[in-house]
Amino acid sequence: MNNVRDEKEIRIQGIPAAPGVARGAAFVFFAEGLQVPCYSIAESSLENERQRFLDALVATRKQLVVLRDKVARDLGEKEAGIFDAHLLVLDDPAFISEPIQLMLQRRTNIECNFHHVAEKYIECFSSLEDDYLKERVGDVRDVAQRVLYNLLGLSQRTLSEVTDKRVIVAEDLSPSDTASMEKGHALAIVTDSGNRTSHAVIMSRSLRIPAVVGLMSATKKIAAGDDVLVDGHEGIVFVNPSEKTLWRYGHIEKMRTAFAHRVQAEVALSNSTSDGKPFKLSANVNGIEDMEGVHKYHAQGVGLFRTEGIFLKDPHHLPDEEAQYAFYSDVVTAARPHRVIVRTLDIGGDKPHDTLLSGGVAEANPFMGFRAIRYCLERKDVFRTQLRAILRASIHGRVKVMFPMISSLDELLQARDFFDKVCAELKQNSIPFDENIPIGSMIEIPSAAYSAQLLAAHCDFFSIGTNDLVQYMLAVDRGNSRIAHLYDPCNPAVLGILRHVIGSAKDKHIEVSVCGELAGDTMFAPLLIALGADSLSMTPTAIPEVRYLLRHSDATALNKLVNEAYAEQDPQKTSQILREYAQSRLTI
Ligand code: PEP
Ligand code: MG
């Protein structure tokens, strides 16, 4: 971290986590370290000890349900889901039976054994490579802490102590800490640890307050009551900001607000460039909860419906046809009159599933393993159920279907063939469905990208998944932060393959869209449109800025951008060309 002193002002650089600028007095929050006592228990007291533990679990459950309801009221159901995850931890049989077994063996008090078991799981999860499981560490720690406080008859220190508007400064914040805070009392959140996906950050975004994380030593540099200015856009925290800094921020904030108004003013205007060429912007969604954003930001339907959500909800059971039918129908109905591109199951890799993938040997390399269409073509029972549900949902609106992780023509033909069989089956049983559903292939594996001409002759559209395409082109694991600097979409090989795929689709007269993160990135969206992409699909909140940028572009500028970007061999220079183009139109 880089700190620059300007007289009394201290500047601390962290990671920008939730946008906005706020200033106020600091409330420095330290979670209290808990001393867990260990002592022997007489045989006759063991049953009493077991009961104490069960009572503490019941008390914890009650507290979590109260918190859950408070968060649902204050922030909404989605955020309250964090506490559903906590309740699941509490229900985990290992969490209940292991401490009791250990207590019976060791004849020591229950909090000592419970602490031991909880620490074992925390350590085990922390050492895993898997980011999803790593994030669960916070859930386990939070729940374990709560159970221990209940066992010891202590009341936990919480942010409910904040009774006035304050900038919250903490080493880290658990979901329970954040939830206990009164809405409106936190001006901003700054933490020593954490990343963009930590729960505190998700809460900040929902509360629409700025957050900066990963500051390393904010709790040491900031004292209670210090005047703190938080810049959630750039990830900077100023302690005792100087007059100059305050003036500059006042000015920047005014310009940012004015720019946000300009973008907002165009949110419902036509999707066409300044010289009248239309472009399509659609949304990536995971379920009905994202459909509000689709309407709010005037997306032209759903360009990627990731269907894994319903499978990941319960890692121990598969959703049946009825449950899936309801899940897909909701989204298809909500998107009307626009279409929804439903992607068939893309399980595996960064989306593991216990039951689906059990029976398989643990894979050394799950990203290149038994996943997505490979899985579905082998587990036709699972694939069939999903296709039946999607087909039945198609009568509620406009549906397109696409297959993920296609790596060869043979795979595409097998998937198509199976899709046709399921259609025939429904027809035979007089179950209604749209008989003209367009079928597409995701292009996210280099072999598919190189075979684009071949594949285009056998499907109705392409959707380029740049998240995976870049990782496979460059052999850079997209989730590995250690090599994140190598994940470079400006690499000439990546830019070359994008041009090839879009060009192949054009040659074969099929539609081509982009649904990876690059589509919603203001550096790449103009380039993709200039290359000929028919539509871009992105997270709904990214749509207004991309729309603004493209509406303020024209054919001459876009052609120039492509020529300049492709003339350059040095990725850094290409990146600069793309950034300058975006900045010149998005200046605040
Ligand atoms: C992609 O790979 O770009 C994509 C959109 O799919 P996912 O991120 O779900 O793998
Ligand atoms: Mg993908």
Rounded to the nearest 10°, the torsion over CA 516, 521, 524, 528 is 50
Band of pLDDT at residue 11, cut at 50, 70 and 90: very high
> Burial of 437 by CB count in 10 Å (0-12 exposed, 13-18 middle, 19+ buried)?
middle
Q: Kindly give the number of the ligand 1 atom that is closest to the alpha carbon of 468.
A: 2
Q: How many Cβ atoms from other residues are within 10 Å of residue 460's Cβ?
A: 16
Query: Looking at the predicted structure, is the pLDDT value of residue 519 above 90?
Result: yes
Catalytic residue, chosen from 86, 112, 115, 199, is 199
Q: Token digits for 384?
A: 């069939």
Gap between the terminal Cα atoms of the chain: 27
What is the 327 CA–ligand 2 centroid distance (Å)? 21
Q: What letter does residue 487 receive in the DSSP assignment? A: -
What is the 203 CA–ligand 1 centroid distance (Å)? 25
Band of pLDDT at residue 83, cut at 50, 70 and 90: confident
Place of tokens 């871009």: 536
Q: Kindly give the number of the ligand 1 atom that is closest to the alpha carbon of 517.
A: 3
Q: Work out the mean pLDDT of the chain and round it to a whole number.
A: 88
The rounded distance, in Å, linking the Cα atoms of 281 and 299 is 6
Q: Kindly give the number of the ligand 1 atom that is closest to the alpha carbon of 306.
A: 9
- As a whole number of Å, the CA-based R_g of the chain is 26
Per residue in 220-262, pLDDT (tens digit) is 899 888 999 999 888 999 999 998 899 888 887 788 788 888 9
Per residue in 306-330, pLDDT (tens digit) is 998 898 877 678 899 999 999 999 9
pLDDT of residue 32: 64
Task: Please say if 515 is a catalytic residue.
Answer: yes
- Select 43-152's CATH number: 1.10.287.1260, 1.10.274.10, 1.10.3470.10, 3.40.50.300: 1.10.274.10
Per residue in 23-58, pLDDT (tens digit) is 999 998 876 667 888 899 899 989 999 999 999 999
Residue of the CA atom closest to atom 3 of ligand 1: 465
Band of pLDDT at residue 570, cut at 50, 70 and 90: very high
Cβ-contact 532, 512 below 8 angstroms: yes
What is the 25 CA–ligand 1 centroid distance (Å)? 42
Out of 132, 375, 443, 468, mutate this one to test ligand 1's pocket (max ligand atoms within 8 Å of CB): namely: 468
pLDDT of residue 5: 38
> Burial of 99 by CB count in 10 Å (0-12 exposed, 13-18 middle, 19+ buried)?
buried
Per residue in 347-379, pLDDT (tens digit) is 877 666 666 665 555 677 888 888 999 999 999
Residue of the CA atom closest to atom 4 of ligand 1: 465
Q: Where are the alpha helices (DSSP H) in 317-465?
A: 321-335, 354-357, 372-378, 380-393, 409-428, 446-450, 452-456
**Stronger pLDDT, 119 or 271, i.e. the higher one:** 271
pTM of the model: 0.67
pLDDT of residue 468: 93
Residue of the CA atom closest to atom 8 of ligand 1: 467
pLDDT of residue 3: 43
Q: Which ligand is nearest to the CA of 343?
A: 1
Range(s) for CATH 3.50.30.10 in the chain?
10-22+165-244
What is the 194 CA–ligand 2 centroid distance (Å)? 26
What's the mean pLDDT in 268-281?
A: 95
Q: How many Cβ atoms from other residues are within 10 Å of residue 501's Cβ?
A: 26
What's the mean pLDDT in 538-544?
A: 89
**Stronger pLDDT, 156 or 273, i.e. the higher one:** 273
Out of 467, 501, 512, 537, mutate this one to test ligand 1's pocket (max ligand atoms within 8 Å of CB): namely: 467
Band of pLDDT at residue 7, cut at 50, 70 and 90: very low
State the sign of the Cα–Cα–Cα–Cα dihedral 183, 185, 187, 191.
Answer: negative
What's the mean pLDDT in 514-521?
A: 92
What's the mean pLDDT in 301-308?
A: 96
Homologous superfamily of domain range 10-22+165-244: Phosphohistidine domain (3.50.30.10)
What is the 549 CA–ligand 2 centroid distance (Å)? 26
Question: Per mean pLDDT, which range of 107-111, 538-542, 551-555, 564-568 is the poorest?
Answer: 538-542
Catalytic residue, chosen from 112, 376, 490, 515, is 515
pLDDT of residue 89: 83
Query: Looking at the predicted structure, is the pLDDT value of residue 477 above 80?
Result: yes
- Which range, 101-105, 111-115, 546-550, is most confident? 546-550
Query: Looking at the predicted structure, is the pLDDT value of residue 95 above 70?
Result: yes
Q: Kindly give the number of the ligand 1 atom that is closest to the alpha carbon of 467.
A: 3
pLDDT of residue 120: 86
Q: Maximum distance among all alpha carbons in the chain?
A: 86
Task: Please say if 485 is a catalytic residue.
Answer: no
Query: Looking at the predicted structure, is the pLDDT value of residue 174 above 80?
Result: no
- The CATH code belonging to domain 278-586 is 3.20.20.60
What is the 465 CA–ligand 2 centroid distance (Å)? 5
Q: What residue ranges line ligand 1, CB within 6 angstroms?
A: 304, 306, 346, 444, 465-468, 515-516
Per residue in 137-155, pLDDT (tens digit) is 777 888 888 898 888 887 7
Range(s) for CATH 1.10.274.10 in the chain?
43-152
pLDDT of residue 354: 63
Band of pLDDT at residue 4, cut at 50, 70 and 90: very low
Query: Looking at the predicted structure, is the pLDDT value of residue 293 above 50?
Result: yes
pLDDT of residue 453: 97
pLDDT of residue 217: 85
